[in-house]
Amino acid sequence: MSDKKLILSVRDVKVHFKVKGGNDWPWTPKKTLKAVDGVSFDLYEGETLGVVGESGCGKSTLARSILNLIPATAGEIVWMGRDLRQGSEKDWLAVRRDIQMIFQDPLASLNPRMTIAQIIGEPLRVHRPELSSEEVMKRVRAMMVKVGLREQMINRYPHEFSGGQCQRIGIARALILEPKLIICDEPVSALDVSIQAQIINLLKELQREMGLALIFIAHDLAVVKHISDRILVMYLGREMELAEKHALYDKPSHPYTRALLSAIPIPDPKLERSKVIQILQGDLPSPINPPSGCVFRTRCPLAEAQCAGERPELRRLSADTQSSCLLA
């Protein structure tokens, strides 16, 4: 990626929350929930970074911290050379023109009291107040056509649309400002398989046309492979592996990545019956009291004594792969 422009640099970002247990006394000190605990990556112009991991591993919290929807506790978020964590509200308002988000639940992310014209045009009214009503409507209609919606739908309300159509509306709203980066927080998980393919192909087509960079969060590793250039694997708020997609799928370096990949269904029935699924033992530890050393060691089939005493950092194994496994 050295030939492309670096647009986002995330360095050792942490998002911690102070929480109380349900049975704690009022004077009991609050505990620290480490939702994201030191994640670093770079994102380049026109690139798609996939982010995968189990539920509760911090994927969505990481995404929201980049936009300051959930303020980061520590670390650096550098956008186009500016550290966003040091910026004012005015600085954030300018940045949000360039970074937009597509949410997981297509219908819940749309205001039921607003028409489609109002929903898609709202970012223009906030960030481009100099535009006339006629110009806003012109841009809204053009964006609707671009994402596969008919102009005749412009005065309808969200409840009149299917899930796939609602997600297209969300995509149109995110694209109307012509941003440089879109964060997709599990944008297809609530949709049927056939609709998922349509939305993924639409995102890829719009990315090529508009030169977008994407951060694509998902559980489905098959979907992530289809759209991503590189993939970040997270577990309990930490990064396990960061690799180019072919390197990660062909030769995963971390035991957790191998377990995730073994669960992907294979279309061939014979191969599906013969494959070995690596079932992880035990439950996901609590982010309030994570294991010492490597956070994955309590479920890792390869764990050794050193894994409990040393916290592994992401280190480069090859030109395409970085891993936080001490045994890799």
Over range 127-150, report the average pLDDT. Answer: 94
At residue 2, the pLDDT reads: 55
Over range 129-149, report the average pLDDT. Answer: 94
pLDDT band of residue 22 (cuts 50, 70, 90) is low
Please name the helix (run of DSSP H) or strand (run of DSSP E) that holds residue 9, with its range, or none.
strand 6-19
Does residue 301 belong to any structural domain of this protein? no
Does residue 319 belong to any structural domain of this protein? no
The widest CA-to-CA distance across the chain, in whole angstroms, is 68
Residue recorded with tokens 């050295």: 2
Does residue 179 belong to any structural domain of this protein? yes
At residue 158, the pLDDT reads: 94
Does residue 110 belong to any structural domain of this protein? yes
Q: Count of alpha carbons within 13 Å of 316, Cβ hemisphere only? A: 4
For the chain, state the CA radius of gyration. 21
DSSP bridge pairs for 83: 78
At residue 1, the pLDDT reads: 54
Does residue 307 belong to any structural domain of this protein? no
Does residue 152 belong to any structural domain of this protein? yes
At residue 95, the pLDDT reads: 86
SS3 per residue for 53-102: CCCCCCHHHHHHHHCCCCCCCEEEEEECCEEHHHCCHHHHHHHCCCEEEE
Does residue 261 belong to any structural domain of this protein? no
Please name the helix (run of DSSP H) or strand (run of DSSP E) that holds residue 202, with its range, or none.
helix 193-210
pLDDT band of residue 4 (cuts 50, 70, 90) is confident
Rounded to the nearest 5 degrees, what angle is found at the Cα of 90, between the Cα atoms of 86 and 95? 75
pLDDT of residue 147 exceeding 60: yes
Please name the helix (run of DSSP H) or strand (run of DSSP E) that holds residue 172, with its range, or none.
helix 163-175
Structural domain harbouring 156: 6-17+32-256
DSSP-derived secondary structure letter, 294: S
pLDDT tens figures, 185-232 = 988 887 888 888 888 999 999 999 999 999 999 988 888 988 999 999
At residue 37, the pLDDT reads: 93
Please name the helix (run of DSSP H) or strand (run of DSSP E) that holds residue 209, with its range, or none.
helix 193-210
pLDDT band of residue 20 (cuts 50, 70, 90) is confident
Query: What share of the chain has pLDDT > 70, as a percent?
Result: 98
**Count of domains forming the chain:** 1
Over range 134-150, report the average pLDDT. Answer: 94
Query: What share of the chain has pLDDT > 90, as a percent?
Result: 62
132-136 long-range contacts, Cβ below 8 Å, gap at least 24? none
Does residue 113 belong to any structural domain of this protein? yes
Residue recorded with tokens 């639409």: 202
pTM of the full structure: 0.90
At residue 115, the pLDDT reads: 96
Assign residue 223 the CATH number of its domain.
3.40.50.300
pLDDT of residue 274 exceeding 70: yes
pLDDT of residue 27 exceeding 80: no
Answer whether 15's CB lies under 8 Å from 65's CB: yes
* Whole-angstrom distance, CA of residue 260 vs CA of residue 239: 14
CB atoms under 10 Å from CB of 27, counted, come to: 5
pLDDT tens figures, 37-85 = 999 999 999 999 999 998 889 999 999 999 989 999 999 999 998 888 8
pLDDT tens figures, 303-324 = 898 999 889 999 999 999 999 9
